[in-house]
Amino acid sequence: MIDAVLIHLRDSLNQYFKNLHGFDEHTVVISNIVDQNGASWLEVENKIVISLLSIGEEPSMKNNSSRVGAFDGSGFQSKNSILYLNMHVMFCVNFRNKKYLEGLNFLSHIISFYHRNRLIESRSIPGFSKKMQKISMELCTFSYDNMSHIWSSIGAKLMPSSIYKISLIPIDDSPMTGYTPAIKSSGEIK
């Protein structure tokens, strides 16, 4: 599920920039900004880099029921409840020197794109669970201290970027753990 969401974000932005600017090459990539040693990847230079920053459970959906009705009405299936995730994803424009202003222009377009497309229909994401109707994109605001901490954790110097919280990604791959038959009749009362 996580990879399907990130691939959808990448592909929809690449299509948007292709329609907007007529680009043939892919400008948006999914990658780390730097390698494990802190060196820059050459493959992400002059690119918009999508990176996963964190994953967490959606607390408001934590106590959902684990019993669901059987399809034929004959009883109830027991299984672990669906795990709903929130992700924080960074869109970093890795454009330097003479291309710095071009990168800022791309960042403006990304913010504008997700302002218009705050809700993403799950049916538009190949391989995504049909149990969810939509996922939401929320632009996050961080203090300078928090941004500094994020960038130092990544191991890179500060670059123009935006961070979005992507909400309600369902993980539902647990098997059925039990079955309770339905009561068909209560018998005769005397």
Spatial contact of 133 and 121, defined as CB atoms under 8 Å apart: yes
Top-confidence residue, 163 or 4: 163
Q: Residue 103: in which H helix or E strand, if any?
A: helix 100-116
Question: Which fold, 2-62+78-175?
Answer: STM4215-like (3.30.2000)
pLDDT in tens, 130-178: 666 678 899 999 999 999 999 999 988 889 999 999 987 665 655 555 5
Q: What is the pLDDT of residues 60-101, one digit of tens each?
A: 766 655 555 555 566 666 666 777 888 999 999 999 899 999
Share above pLDDT 90 across residues of the chain, in percent, rounded to a whole number: 44
The rounded mean pLDDT for the chain is: 82
139: closest CA among 97, 176, 167? 167
Cβ neighbour number for residue 125 with a 10 Å cutoff: 20
For residue 128, give every residue at least 6 positions away whose Cβ sits within 8 Å of its Cβ, in sequence order, or none.
1, 4, 5, 8, 122
Beta strands in the chain (DSSP E): 28-30, 47-57, 67-69, 75-79, 83-94, 119-121, 134-139, 161-171, 176-181
Q: Does the pLDDT value for residue 5 go beyond 60?
A: yes
Give pTM, 2 decimals. 0.77
Best CA proximity match to 90, nearest among 156, 145, 39: 156
Give pLDDT, residue 170.
64
